[in-house]
Amino acid sequence: MQTSLSLKDISKKYNAIIRGWSNYIGRFYKNEMENVFRHINSALQRLGAKEVQTSREAVEPMRG
């Protein structure tokens, strides 16, 4: 997932959509929703790791 949005921006943008999926589809297809949530979580973890790495790279030159 390549994006210029921060994790906070992504959560604001997609939280209601994912919650709606969970409420509607999760009622009938719980196992399928678990797979969807696993995929979403792994994508967010990768994005979060990149965000942390980028912030560390930005701080390194300041430390001297």
Residue 50 pLDDT exceeds 70: yes
What are the domain boundaries of the chain?
7-55
- Both tokens assigned to 17: 């959509």
* Total residues found in the chain within this entry: 64
Question: What pLDDT does residue 55 have?
Answer: 63
In this structure, are residues 41 and 14 in contact, taking their beta carbons and an 8 Å threshold? no
Place of tokens 């999926």: 21
Digit-coded pLDDT (tens) for 8-46: 888 899 899 989 988 998 889 988 889 989 998 998 888
